[in-house]
Amino acid sequence: DAKTTQPNSMESNEEEPVHLPCNHSTISGTDYIHWYRQLPSQGPEYVIHGLTSNVNNRMASLAIAEDRKSSTLILHRATLRDAAVYYCILRLADFNKFYFGSGTKLNVKP
């Protein structure tokens, strides 16, 4: 399975934008890029996913590099509730399983 690399932790101030990077230099043409987050004592929560084009939804934006070897999850205005571990995951189109890495622990300061 293609590997992703994320910083162990990041810190942000409340109401400021947050850019969470992910490197996936071995991505293949059929890998979807998924982002999930896990709040304390909860199951992983879907945030956003994409294949080639940038994506926006009510939670976040996903910016995908032109060569697809990296992506960035953008939270436009961080809130205290956004403090969580964020996982960047590659998922082959024909397969069902996710491989979770260690993710980035985001701390949001008031």
Partner 1 sequence: EPEVTQTPSHQVTQMGQEVILRCVPISNHLYFYWYRQILGQKVEFLVSFYNNEISEKSEIFDDQFSVERPDGSNFTLKIRSTKLEDSAMYFCASSRAAGGQPQHFGDGTRLSIL
Residues lying near partner 1 in the complex (CB under 8 A) are found at: 32, 34, 38, 41-46, 49, 51, 87, 91-102
Q: Which lies closer to partner 1 via its Cβ, residue 52 or residue 79? A: 52
CB of 21 to partner 1, least distance (A): 19
Q: Of 107, 69, 106, 68, give the one whose Cα is nearest residue 87.
A: 106
CB of 14 to partner 1, least distance (A): 25
Q: Which lies closer to partner 1 via its Cβ, residue 9 or residue 13? A: 9
CA R_g for the chain: 13
> Do 36 and 45 meet the contact criterion of CB atoms below 8 Å apart?
yes
Q: Which lies closer to partner 1 via its Cβ, residue 47 or residue 83? A: 47
Q: Which amino acid is at 106?
A: L
Task: In whole angstroms, give the CA distance from residue 105 to residue 110.
Answer: 16
